[in-house]
Structure 1
Amino acid sequence: MQITTLIPAYKTKYMVELMTSLVTQTHKSQRIIVSDDSPGGEFGQILSSPAMLVARERLPIEIHQGPRIGAYENFLHLLKLWDNSTELVHLLLDDDVIYPDFYAAHRAIHGAGNFACSISARWTANERGQPIEGMPIPAGVLQSMGRIVSLDAGAMFTTTIPQCQNWFGEFSNCVMRRETAALLFKPDFGGVSYAGLWDLGAFLAASLQGPVAYIQDRLGHFRTGGEGHSNQLYGKHMKAAHLGYAALAVGARRIGQLGESHARQCYDGIASAIWQRYAGEEDMQPFCRVLPRMRDGLPGAEDEFLPIWQDFLTRHKF
């Protein structure tokens, strides 16, 4: 099975590590498509320079100009450039690193079974790329005797949304079948957008198509700190990442994948987090009022949330 790597490029700081992780793969990608979303095209300029000649000689790299209207729009631009040309596709963010057996392991899993996508464990690393901690994997998965765990939609939804916890990671440690990748063009459940939690939302949507293979081996690392959105607590992306759990719960309820008690557990956790972190933020005031009502199960509270959430996404240009 052939794999295409899609790189939504913006930051140039980690380019050498990024390209090295692709050069050293024991199973190489058939295509590597770079969509340069950097403001002045700096990523493409450096990648095209003599300093990166070795990477270009060893890898089938294509460089395209990005749309420069947002990170997720760049994801979709890459998917259109890929155009279903391979059975498997991988979105690799420009500050993440995959280890040498990443593609070999994911390809073997897809060759052995009909999985909607495969997700491998990862390390969380510091700014220098040094692993510092693992993901909070549920005990039932972590203690499994197998290196590969097959997860259905019930397990996926109930181990993430109620706890407000994405223990899977992000797109960089997931390989999707071409049919699954199409889900990224409609990031919602029951008409409720999960913008801000696009990765987790996509993984949950994938589980509705078929089982998801979870690989226990840590085959990459996610970098914290630096210029990443996870290091900007008061930025729009981190706010949306918090609120996105409530949106996921409302949407999951609409499609029958989450019960009331699990949804209220989610609303309780998010209401507490929003109050502690964002009580003084003007754009979060409506959520400070409605989330406790959702937590308490008051009639109509979930319906109140929806226009407030949509207004937040519109004003912040998601």
Structure 2
Amino acid sequence: MSIVKVKTEGGAYSIHIAPNLLQQVGTSIPPDATSVVLISNPTVFGLYGKTVLQSLEASGKKISVFEVPDGEAYKTLETLNSIYTFLLEQRLDRRAVIVALGGGVIGDMCGFAAATYMRGIRFIQVPTTLLAQVDSSVGGKTAVNHPMGKNMIGAFYQPIAVDIDTTVLGTLPEREIAAGLAEVIKYGLILDAGFFDWCEQNVASLKALEPEAIGYAVQRSCELKAYVVSEDEKETGMRAILNLGHTFGHAIEAGLGFGTWLHGEAVGCGMVQAAELSARVCGFPQADVERVRALVAAIGCPVTAPDLGTDKWIELMQIDKKAEGGKIKFIVMPGIGQAKSQTVPREDLMLVLKKTTQKG
């Protein structure tokens, strides 16, 4: 088992990474927990619910289960309210624990429910998609979507543990693997040029989910995210670099309708757009733009954005959480392994949108 430590003002916890870890989730339940609620969706619960329940029941706590609909389209205040209702019906107190079994949608909603129910109860992340394992389950960002923007209603709230079972990735569709690998690539682009090189060299092994390759990719991604989150828990500075490609990506998701493109697919395409923008505004080499484009294509993500129309692009980007005073901020790269946040000239943004979107 690999263990990555996360230390923030909001709490310190361990990320456990190993094959077949679902059988041990119950060991993460604190001794003083009064009850446990396992929250999942029908797809994931059908695959792994029995295994996790058996492990949780071994903890000797009262266990209850709540399922929410599957998909980004249900990451809403309405679904969140149904979770609150269930927690109240079960008479959960402040020493209860929520276990989030699923991908980023489940993890984000459970985290926000935990942050706000009775002003805060404990929760454990058990991510079952690659994207959730390397990104959304780590760092305490919790939220639901609003029709006007992604993750606009939420809180920074840390889990007490993250349990990552790498064997569950074998049941994921190819699109989900590609979406998760986009976030893996991101860590190399913003923090670790050597890791980006490694991803280029091992892309076939990563797509095939070869255990050694995917285990290292998950561990290194978690290490890099843990470092950033420990330095800047609430995104007042350095943590913003984790949003490489996200200003473009979130606009794609909202513009097409949440769930049309997977989050990682939109981020992958957004990183290509961010690379093109970086070439215009901070000297990112064009040869490296092509490396980014080639690797994003190689993992199976789109490299050409949908044509939302210039006005719609700008409108959606201005809602982005990094925007300040109506000015859009982008994460750009002076070089591979380096990233920073800055505003960019509108004419450069327009040229990049023209170059990177579908025509007609």
Question: Could you state the TM-score of these two structures normalised by the residue count of structure 1?
Answer: 0.38
TM-score w.r.t. structure 2 length?
Answer: 0.34
